[in-house]
Each structure stands twice: as C-alpha cells, then as structure tokens.
Structure 1
Amino acid sequence: MSRQKGSINNLIWGVVSVIITSVVAFIIPRLFIVNYGSEVNGLLASIRQIYVYLALLEAGVGSASVVALYGPMGRGDKHSVNSILAATNHYYKKIGIIYALCIVVAGILYPFLLDTNIPYYICSLVIILQGAGSVMGYLVYGKYNMLLRVDNRSYVTIRLGMILSVLTDVVRIALVMNGQSIIEVQATYFFFGFLNMGYICWYIKKYYPWIDLSVKPDFEAISQKSSVFVHQISSLVFSHTDVLILTFVCGLKTVSIYTMYAAVYGILESAITITGNSVQSALGQTFNTDRVKFMKIQAAFETYYLAFVFSLFTVAGIFILPFMALYTAGADMNYVYAWIPVLFTLYQLMSYGRVTSNNIIGFAAEFKSTRWRAWLETAINLVVSLVCVFQFGIYGVLMGTVAAVFYRANDIILFANHRVLKQSAWPTYRRWIVNAVLLTLTILFFRYIPMNTDTYITLILNALWVSIVVFILFFGINSWTEKEARKTASGYLKNMLPMLPILKYFYK
C-alpha cells in the first residue's frame, strides 16, 4: 500500500470514528450525572487519571519502538523490524505483569484517599475493571499496534476501536437505563477488550505472516526509551495533573465540572490527533529517507494543520457555553463558567499547535537532548497549579497548564527549526500569528451575531453554517499567505483525489 493511500485511509476512518464515537459518547456523561450524580461522574474521571499515570509503566518503550521502526519499514528491512518488535515484546510482557499488580494495589488503596459517600467496594471494583483491558494489551497485542502505526495502517486499529467503542457505549447506555449498578456498567470494558485482542492478533497473522518474535531482540534500537519516558511524564503531567489536584483540593464535584469541559474539547482533540497521525508515518519515513522532500511537505502540512486546529477551536469558542447550558440542564449543580473555555482554548491551541514541530524532534530521535526541557515544563505546571488552585480553584490548575505549555510550545518550535532543520523559526511563528489574529477577530465578530441556541437542533444548525464560514476563512487566508505551501499541497491533492473511495470511480 502506498504512503498516500495509507494516509487517506487513516484520515477517513479517523474522521468517521470521531463522528460516531462522539455522538454516542456525549450521551454517557449526562446519563451518569442524571442517574448516578455528579459525584460518581467525578469518581470515574478521577479513576481514569490513575490509569493515565499507570501508563507511565510503559516507560517510553512504544514511542521509542515507533521511531526505531520508521527507517526499517521505509527500507523494507523485515529482519530489523522483527528484531525491534522482539525487543518491544520482551519489555511489554514485563510491563503487563507489573501493571496487573499495580491495578490490584490501586483498587485496594485508592478508595481510602477519597472523600466520598460512594461505598468502598464499588470504588475498588470499578478501578480494577477499568484497567483489565490494558493488561491484555501489554501481554498480547501492544507491539502489533506499533507496527500498524508505522506501516501507515492506523486505520485498522481506528476502525476496530470505533466499532468496539460504539458497542461498548450502547451496552453501557442500556445498562444505565435499566438501573444496573455502576460495576456492571464498567465490566463492559473487560468483555470488549477480549474482542479487541482477538481481532488484532488475527489481522497480524493474516497480513504480516513474516512477523517472527523469536529472533534476537534489538534492544539497542529502542535504547532511547528512557529519554522518551521523560517526555511522556511531562506530557501526562501536562494533560492530566489538573484532575488529580482538583480531586484532593476541591472535591469530586469540581472534577465533574472540569471533565465536562474536557470532554467537549476532547472531541476536538480526537479530530486533531487523527488528522496529524494520519500522515505521521508517511512524514516519519520521508524524514529518514529524503530530507529535501520532507522540508517541502512539512511546510505545507504545518500550514494546513494549524488552519484546521485554529478553525476547530474558533467554532468551539463560539458555541461551548450555549452547548454546556443545554447539556447540563437538570444537573445537580451549575456547569456554565465563562472563563473556563478561554483557558481551555489557550492551552489546547498551544498544545496541539506545537505538534508539527514536536514530530520533527521525534523523527530525529532527539529525545535525550530535550529531556531537561520536558522536566522544566512539568515543574512549571505543578508549581503554578499547586500555588494557584487554593486561591482560584479550577481556574488555578488551568493557569498552571497554560503557563507550562506557553514555555514548552516556544521551546519546541525553536528547537525543531534551529537544531534539527537548521532553518529560521519565523515561518512557523508567522503562521501562528495569522491564525491567532483570525481566531480572536472571528470569535469577537460572532459574539454580535444573534443566533438561537435554545435547543439542540438550532444549536447544531447554527454550528454547521458557522463552521463552514470559519473553515473557508482560515483555509483561504492561509492559502493566500503561504504560496509555496499552497503549491505543494495542491500537487499532493491532485494525486490523492483519485484514491478517495467516493471519487476514484470518476477517474477511471
């Protein structure tokens, strides 16, 4: 399969996955709030953060394997691929055993740390059931996900994840509506985890019969896992510390407020991540085989990636509060806070806007030389959040995140351009400035446009036409200001259009 065709499949299935899972997933939190209360919803959010941090046990093995596999996969070197996967498998089996033990310990101890009226045994069983699927991933099929990602077949896991996610949510909704306990609801994760494991193993056996994990492991190829691990710690602290701090300082109800906004922005995150990941493998292989070609593609990708990111957050900035008022109507507390979306938008923009530059650091395997920078980002986040949370509550933890990501986004942009690509960082900053000005002016403009958002139907209809206008505006302005990127993107678009399933028959 060509790199372009693989990227198209990744993107198409990614978009379909976001749309379907988002529609279904939006039903779940409201059902939990209405049927179990904000405290249970906050508990589930708090537990999810435990598993985010338990993921640190992976110690950078997966990401280091991905980077190590780019070159061999690009060259078709199957022996090296097998050696790297064998090393990954070796580490993953050890991690799976430790992970299982940590789940049991967390299930026993964590409920004692919570100030809640929820019974101990419920908290304990929910924790254990939530993490059982990850144990299977490490022990059985985790290394295969790395292979599919590098081989530009992420659409396989995306498609499978979409189907299983929908099935899981449908079953959970049915259980909640029929008054079943939260334990029975959470047990669905364990069941569908088995199905996920079975399909991935079958797919690898059918389409990659040459995979042989019995070869001598190439531990040297993934020796940078410890440096990758540092970056993962920084990323997780940046993304997930807020909920844990709020859990112990402000309580589970405040956590519920935070996670409601995080869930909405999480939909945007999924769309952005899928867009970036759909071409990451192709970019990574090109970086390691043809640097001149990569530079042209990178400039075009960054231009339209930033246009996409800023477009999404512009639409979110216009409609987040009306949506939250509708979505949480009838809840046991107020969820509408005017300044929360502002802080969320700031840190999400800087976080996802820096991805194109961060990818370059990953492609170049510059993990070790940037470790101290990741630690500094972590320190800024923790210190500012812990200082401010007692004074400003939910706003305080968001301030900490914004402060940390402001430093790190600039650091990543400068490092990627100056140290790796040996070029000026001004083109990247120019794109940021153009999009930031557009976002600010567009949101302010639509504040003065009267729109009826009192029902879901009117909200969706208004969001649709506004989204069309916003996307045309951002992509149009960026195409006008970035001529070289426009030419490069146009050339690739002409080649890719005949590969689109809906259009390929017109090109026969």
Structure 2
Amino acid sequence: MSRIEFAKKNITYGYIGTVLNLILKFVSRTVFIYALGATYLGVNGLYTNILSVLSFAELGIGTAMNYSLYKPIAEGDKEKIKSLMNLYKTAYRWIAGIVAILGLAIIPFLQFVIKDPGNISNTELVLYYLIFLFNTVTSYFVSYKYSLANAEQKNYIQTNIRTVSTVMVVLTQIVVLLFLQNFLIYLLVGAFIELLEKVYANFYLNKKYPMLLEKNVRELESQEVEPIKTNIKALIFHKIGEISVYQSDNIVISSFINITVVGLVSNYNLLISSVTQLINIIFNSLISSFGNLIATESIEKQLRLFKVYRFVAFWIFGFSSIAFITLLSPFVELWIGSEMVINQMVIYLIIIDFYARGHRIVVNNFKIAAGVFDADKYVAIVQAVVNLVISIILVQYIGLVGIYVGTVIQGLIATGIKPFIVYKNVFNQSVKEYYVDSAVYLIIMALTLLLIEVIKSQLLSTVNWVNFVSLVVVVTVVVNAIFFILLRKRSEFKYLKNIILKKEGASN
C-alpha cells in the first residue's frame, strides 16, 4: 500500500471516529453542565491538566522510539524491531511507576491549586483525582504497542479501538448524568470501560504482532541505543516546554482566579479542541508517511510536499480561525446561556495562538518525521519560562487576559524560530521563502477577517439561531471563496488539484 493510500485510510477512519466521538462528547458536555454545573466541569478540566503535567515522566520516549522504528520497518528488519519494542516496553513500565509515585505525592497539594471548590469536599476531590491517576497509569502498559502499528502507517488501528471505547464511555456516562447526577459514578464507569479497552488492545496487538511475545530478543548494542538516548535527552526539553505551555493555563486559572472559570474556559476549549481534532487527523495521519518519505526520497521532493502540507494548513487553520473569532461566543450564548460567555479579548488571544499552532504543527510534524529533536531543544525551555512568568505576573493585574497574553507570546517565539531549524537541518536551504509566505498568508487572513466582521455586524445584530446559521453559511462561503480567488494560482494549489484529479502517481 502506498503512502497516499495509507494516509487516505488513516484520515477516513480518523474522521469517522472523531466525528462520532465529538457529537457524543458535545451531547455529554451539555448534559454535564445542566446536571452537575461549572464547578465540577472545572475539576474535570483541572485534573486532566494535572495528569498531563505528570506525563512529563514519559520524557518524549514515545516520539523517539517511533522515529527509530521507521527505518527497520521500511527495511523489514524484524530482529531490530523486536529489540526496539522490548526496550520500549521496559521504559514504559518504569514510566508507569514514576507517574504513579509522583501522582500520589501531589495529593497533599491539591487543596492549594483548587480555589473556591464550592460544596465539593477535600475527600471527594482526592477520590476523583485518584480515578484520573489510575486511568493515566494503566494506559502506559499498552500504549507503547500502538507505536509499531503507527510506524507501519496503520494509525487507523488505534483510532478504531479508541472510537469504540469512547462511544461506550460517553453513552454510559450520559445515562449516569441523566439518572444519577453523580460525578463519582460518572468517573468510575468511564475508568472501568477504558480498562476493558486496554485489556482488549493488549490482546489484539499481541495477536497481530506475535513478535511482541517472542522471548529470543537480542539486546540493542550501544551504538544502536546512543542515537535514541540523544533524541530522548533533547525531547526532555521539548516535553518540559509543551507541558509548561499547554497544560499550565488551567492550573494558573484555578490557583489565581477560581475553579469555576476553568469550567467556563473549558467550554470554549472543548469547541476549539473538537475542531482541532478533526483538523489534526489530516496532519498527524501523515507523520509516519513523511517518515517513510524522508527515509526514501530526495530533499527536493521532501521540500515540495512540505510546502503543499503547509499550504493546506494555512487554508484550514486560517478559515477555522476566522470562523472561531466570529462564531464562538454567539454559539456558546445560544448553547448554554450568556452567563457562560467569556471576554472577547480572551477569545482573540486564544485564536491567535490557535492560528500560530496551525503553522507550527506542519513544522513540528515534519521535524519529528525527520528525527530533528536536538536543534531546538532550548527553544522549548524559553517558551516555558516566558509563558509561566508572563502569565503569573499579568493574571494578577488583568486577570484571564494576562494568562493568554503569555500563551501567545511564547507561541510566537516558536513560530519564528522552528521553521529556520527545519529548513537548515532537513532541507539545507534558506528559510526566507517560508517567512515571505507567512506574511502573505497573514495579510490574506487579516483582510478576510475584517470583511467578515463587517458582515457579522449586519447579520448578527440580534443573537438567535436563524441569524447564527445564516452567519455560518456566509463565513463558510465568503472565506473559502476569497482564499480560492487569491491562492488558486500557487503551485501548491495546482499540485493538490492534480492529486484530486488523479494526475499524480499514487506512490506520491
């Protein structure tokens, strides 16, 4: 099966699963808000972030190991694959133990990061947290096995198993919310079903890859382990940066404002992350294909496909950013009430970061596929420091806006530096063209947004479902029409047109 065929299969199953999951989660969130309220929603979001912080213990081992598997899989080197997977298994068992110990050690400090928990007792907060911790720790005993399927460009295996599990979890939890309105039972049924999923996944992957159970596994030699260690050392820095930036906002909000605001923000994050999941199916499904591309094709072809990849990212993230800025607050007001709407300036900042991340996902995914981890490791630390310092200082003066100012500033640092690193280390070319394209894309998006804002002021003078749906249609048509008119002559657009019309070979 070619790279394009694998990508199509991964994307197709990814969309089916994600759309189904998002519909159910949206329904579940709506029921959750009315059944339990914003405070419990804030606890749910906060604990998710705390456990994501504890994933620091993973140290980027998964990313390094996935990269290490691309070449032996392409060459059919079964013995090397077995050795790598055995190393991976040992590492993840250690990680599970470390996360469990660190997770338990945090319990005495929970009361200091949860401000104004309402009528939720400290005992309840600890019990809820332990369930979250159990879910996280048990995941490490099976997640490493998915790396073999993913490195073979068969991401759809993990997608399909997760889809079935998520559907079962969400449907069961909705029933609990409707009839029992009990957060503890809500968490317990989810944890039980997810445990069954892990048991099944372990059985299925062992059967599909019997080599995982073979005992005659040679130990990797020092020269084989050394590049993995080098990548892991670099990825430690990336992991610190990632956690400090994207898992700390809710903790800062809970500590300096209150836990209820975490719940309000989480509604917006649900909508944005839902769309992001749909978008990322396209981009993340291609990482393993790019790994194969880089291992087998010329730099010229790699650069050509990178530009196409990035062009698609601009179109999708540019359109989504304009739609979010225009539609998020009206939708939240219609969905769950005007009291759940947050400051529009906060939304602007969140979407600026969303747009910048859209460009970074292209750079980061190509960098991961190429195994370039060491060159920008200190950038991640700079991002982390800038984000935390600015957010903690400004939240005390301008509240929620200050937290997201820090998020935007750190993101712009990475958005400016990482393309230079990729062009230098992967393509061995000047990055000037990338920055020029960035400016062109930004100008197109800004002008389009101005036009949409003018249209919005006319169409949405009164917030109701009829006006909102009309605005959705207008935004969709106008934004994409403008993008088409202004970008249709670019080589990237022509390449995609040829792919769609099947003028390019399927092996691309």
Deviations 1:314-338 (A, max 9, x none): 21122111112112317xx442422
SS state at 2:194 partner: helix
* Aligned counterpart for 1:134 among listed residues 127, 136, 155: 136
The two structures, once aligned, show a CA RMSD in angstroms of 2.4
Tell which deviates more after alignment, 184-193 or 429-438.
429-438
Tell which deviates more after alignment, 66-75 or 339-348.
66-75
SS state at 2:341 partner: coil
Cross-structure match for 1:264:
271
Q: 1:27 to 1:307 in 2, by over 3 A?
A: same
**TM-score normalized by structure 2?**
0.90
Alpha carbons 2:79, 2:218 under 8 Å: kept? no
Tell which deviates more after alignment, 31-40 or 381-390.
31-40
Identity %: 19
Is 2:435 the counterpart of 1:429?
yes
SS state at 1:121 partner: helix
Alpha carbons 1:129, 1:189 under 8 Å: kept? no
SS state at 2:344 partner: coil
Q: 1:124 to 1:498 in 2, by over 3 A?
A: farther
Is 2:398 the counterpart of 1:392?
yes
Cross-structure match for 1:194:
195
Cross-structure match for 1:203:
204
Deviations 1:330-369 (A, max 9, x none): 7xx4424221211011111112211222233323323223
Cross-structure match for 1:504:
none
- Distance in 2 of aligned mates of 1:122 and 1:497: 59
Alpha carbons 1:85, 1:213 under 8 Å: kept? no
* Aligned counterpart for 1:351 among listed residues 339, 357, 360: 357
Q: 1:364 to 1:230 in 2, by over 3 A?
A: same
SS state at 1:216 partner: coil
The Cα shift of 1:199 comes to 3.2
Alignment of 1:35-74 (within 5 A): 35-74=35-74
The Cα shift of 1:113 comes to 4.7
The Cα shift of 1:213 comes to 5.7
- Distance in 1 of aligned mates of 2:315 and 2:331: 24
Alignment of 1:458-473 (within 5 A): 459-460=468-469, 462-464=471-473, 466-473=475-482
Is 2:237 the counterpart of 1:233?
no
- Distance in 1 of aligned mates of 2:473 and 2:164: 26
- Distance in 2 of aligned mates of 1:85 and 1:470: 46
The Cα shift of 1:487 comes to 4.1
Q: Which runs of 5+ in 2 are unaligned?
A: none
Cross-structure match for 1:174:
175
Alignment of 1:75-154 (within 5 A): 75-107=75-107, 109-111=109-111, 113-115=113-115, 116-117=117-118, 118-139=120-141, 141-154=142-155
Q: 1:225 to 1:213 in 2, by over 3 A?
A: farther
SS state at 1:369 partner: coil
Letter in 2 for 1:174: V
Alpha carbons 2:36, 2:181 under 8 Å: kept? no
Q: Which runs of 5+ in 1 are unaligned?
A: 500-508
- Distance in 1 of aligned mates of 2:111 and 2:178: 26
Deviations 1:48-101 (A, max 9, x none): 111111111111110111111122222222222221111110100111122233
The Cα shift of 1:376 comes to 0.9
Is 2:381 the counterpart of 1:382?
no
Deviations 1:268-299 (A, max 9, x none): 22122211111111111111221332222212
Q: 1:290 to 1:392 in 2, by over 3 A?
A: same
* Aligned counterpart for 2:324 among listed residues 307, 316, 326: 316
- Distance in 2 of aligned mates of 1:428 and 1:84: 36
Is 2:18 the counterpart of 1:18?
yes
Alpha carbons 1:361, 1:367 under 8 Å: kept? yes
Letter in 2 for 1:230: F
- Distance in 1 of aligned mates of 2:503 and 2:10: 13
Tell which deviates more after alignment, 42-51 or 12-21.
12-21
Deviations 1:182-220 (A, max 9, x none): 000011221121232133223323433344564134344
- Distance in 2 of aligned mates of 1:316 and 1:329: 18
- Distance in 2 of aligned mates of 1:87 and 1:445: 55
Deviations 1:356-406 (A, max 9, x none): 222333233232232212111111111111111101111001000111111
Alpha carbons 2:367, 2:422 under 8 Å: kept? yes
Tell which deviates more after alignment, 65-74 or 31-40.
31-40
- Distance in 2 of aligned mates of 1:247 and 1:496: 54
Q: 1:51 to 1:7 in 2, by over 3 A?
A: same
Letter in 2 for 1:351: R
SS state at 1:414 partner: helix
- Distance in 1 of aligned mates of 2:426 and 2:363: 10
- Distance in 2 of aligned mates of 1:402 and 1:358: 17
Q: 1:285 to 1:152 in 2, by over 3 A?
A: same
The Cα shift of 1:456 comes to 4.7
- Distance in 1 of aligned mates of 2:503 and 2:387: 42
- Distance in 2 of aligned mates of 1:76 and 1:187: 43
- Distance in 2 of aligned mates of 1:72 and 1:496: 32
- Distance in 1 of aligned mates of 2:474 and 2:19: 17
Q: 1:349 to 1:26 in 2, by over 3 A?
A: same
Q: 1:469 to 1:196 in 2, by over 3 A?
A: farther
Deviations 1:470-493 (A, max 9, x none): 33433553332x22x234334443
- Distance in 2 of aligned mates of 1:457 and 1:108: 50
SS state at 1:261 partner: helix
- Distance in 2 of aligned mates of 1:338 and 1:406: 20
SS state at 1:366 partner: coil
